[in-house]
């Protein structure tokens, strides 16, 4: 697995260098965004700079980026690989196709979170503002990630079969925002709703820094695990279907 992780890092870095300007611009946009958050909030809400509201906003944004990054990652990667025609080459390796895509999307999210962390730390140093961050909330983020990977595999399965599902990304992105907002509070008790317990857990623990119970964590874990297994099962089934139909490489 280490060899695969290293290979994905090398390929990712090569792509980053190849499209240097675009990579730099995305970094610039992120800097501007956080800069806007740090200064803009004071301007708009006429509140003192920093404090809990800013922490919530920044950490909320982190959860949002994290969730959407993973959610779209797998399907987007499959679509890109199918367009390039390299999907078959990936399938010829010793690692299952889904492992490659999960790892690739995880790597992308980790890199973007690291970039966000560096920017936030730098801005804290410049502005003197301190954000309240609860490291104990990180496991909640991992539980959330497990479920989101499941959903992403579902989208990936659709991309594997239909090849181009870019419009679906847009629909999901717009639909997901109100769902996240509702799930973190209103759907908090809905254990059967996909991702709702994990979202509630992540916002409560990671963003708000509030205490969580074991029951909340277990419910979120079971919900996320079920989503992951459903996503994985469907992805593998669709992979079998496309291999039977012979349209793995077709775009």
Partner 1 sequence: MEPAQAVVADHISKSFKGKGALKGVSLDLPRGRVVGLLGPNGAGKTTLIKILLGLLLADDGRVFLRTAEGEARVAPGRVGVVMEGNRNYYANVSAMTNAVYFASLRGVASRTAAERFRRWAARFGLDEEVLRQPLASFSRGMQQKAALAASLLHDPDFVILDEPTLGLDPGSRLELEKVVRELAEAGKGLLVASHDLEFIQRTADRVVFIRAGRVILDDATAQLIRRYERPWYLVRTATEIRELPPAWGDAERWRRRDAQTLLFSGSWRELRRDLCAAPELEVASVQKETVSLEDVFMEIQGEAGDVDAP
DSSP for the chain? -HHHHHHHHHHHHHHHHHTHHHHHHHHHHHHHHHHHHHHHHHHHH---SSHHHHHHHHHHHHHHHHHHHHHHHHHHHHHHHHHHT-HHHHHTSSS-HHHHHHHHHHHHHHHHHHHHHHHHHHHHHHH-------GGGHHHHHHHHHHHHHHHHHHHHHHHHHS--HHHHHHHHHHHHHHHHHHHHTTTT-TTSTTHHHHHHHIIIIIS-----HHHHHHHHHHHHHHHHHHHHHHHHHHHHHHHHT-SS--
Q: Of 17 and 46, which CB lies nearer to partner 1 in the complex structure?
A: 17
Smallest distance from partner 1 to CB 40, Å: 37
Q: Of 119 and 242, which CB lies nearer to partner 1 in the complex structure?
A: 242
Q: Which residues bind partner 1 (CB under 8 A)?
A: 3-4, 6-7, 10-11, 14-15, 18, 84-86, 88-95, 100, 240, 243-246, 248-249
Q: Of 130 and 243, which CB lies nearer to partner 1 in the complex structure?
A: 243
Smallest distance from partner 1 to CB 155, Å: 23
Q: Of 83 and 173, which CB lies nearer to partner 1 in the complex structure?
A: 83
Smallest distance from partner 1 to CB 140, Å: 33
Rounded-to-integer distance, Cα 219 and Cα 224, Å = 9
Smallest distance from partner 1 to CB 3, Å: 5
Smallest distance from partner 1 to CB 27, Å: 20
Smallest distance from partner 1 to CB 85, Å: 4
Q: Of 199 and 238, which CB lies nearer to partner 1 in the complex structure?
A: 238
Q: Of 10 and 192, which CB lies nearer to partner 1 in the complex structure?
A: 10
């Amino acid at each position: 697995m280490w060899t695969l992780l290293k290979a994905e890092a090398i390929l990712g870095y090569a792509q980053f260098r190849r499209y240097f300007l675009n990579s730099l611009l995305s970094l610039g946009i992120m800097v501007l965004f956080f800069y806007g958050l740090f200064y803009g909030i004071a301007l708009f809400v006429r509140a003192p700079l920093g404090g809990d509201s800013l922490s919530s906003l920044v950490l909320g944004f982190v959860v949002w980026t994290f969730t959407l990054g993973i959610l779209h990652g797998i399907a987007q990667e499959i679509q890109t690989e199918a367009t390039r025609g390299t999907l078959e080459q990936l399938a010829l390796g010793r690692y299952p196709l889904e492992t490659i895509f999960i790892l690739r999307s995880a790597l992308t999210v980790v890199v973007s979170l690291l970039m966000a962390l560096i920017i936030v730390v730098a801005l804290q140093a410049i502005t003197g503002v301190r954000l309240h961050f609860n490291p104990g909330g990180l496991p909640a983020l991992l539980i959330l990630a497990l479920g989101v990977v499941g959903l992403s595999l579902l989208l990936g399965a659709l991309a594997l079969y239909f090849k181009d599902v870019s419009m679906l990304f847009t629909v999901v992105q717009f639909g997901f925002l109100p769902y996240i907002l509702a799930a973190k509070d209103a759907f908090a008790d809905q254990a059967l709703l996909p991702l709702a317990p994990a979202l509630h857990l992540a916002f409560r623990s990671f963003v708000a820094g509030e205490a969580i119970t074991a029951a909340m964590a277990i419910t979120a874990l079971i919900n996320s695990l079920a989503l992951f297994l459903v996503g994985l099962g469907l992805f593998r089934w669709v992979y079998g279907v496309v291999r039977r139909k012979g349209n793995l490489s077709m775009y």
